[in-house]
Amino acid sequence: MKVLKRIIAIAFLVAVWVMGWHFVGAHNEVVRLDYGMERFYELPFWQALLGAASMGGALIGLPMLFMLFRSRLISRHYRKQAEQLEEEIHELRNLPLAEAKEVSAEVSV
């Protein structure tokens, strides 16, 4: 089973490499990027696409990472609160019942 997983992983990596190689070959023309203020950069089209995809991933990934971190902190808070409440329930279960019967008898009189 391990051998099959390795073969599949290697085949996948080779396929990604071949597709990337083909993409670079197909999009090798030079494009001119204008950032304003007369600053121009000329680079291959595939690098521009890769840079745009990376920047888009970073712009989406960073807020998602923040939300993930925040949700983990909130879940940790609630987990601790639940543990404290469970401890309180166990403490209440350990109280003697005799006092409760005496108090209820006094109230009913």
Q: Which residues contact 16 (CB under 8 A, 6 or more apart)?
A: none
Is the pTM for the entire model greater than 0.85? no
10-35 average pLDDT score = 89
Nearest to 28 by CA among 3, 46, 48, 9: 46
Backbone angles phi, psi at 31, to 5 degrees: -120, 160
Q: Tokens 């990337």 map to which residue?
A: 20
pLDDT category of residue 32 using cuts at 50, 70 and 90: confident
pLDDT category of residue 4 using cuts at 50, 70 and 90: very high
C-alpha to C-alpha distance for 60 and 23, rounded to whole angstroms: 24
What domain count does the chain have? 1
Domain containing 9 equals: 1-107
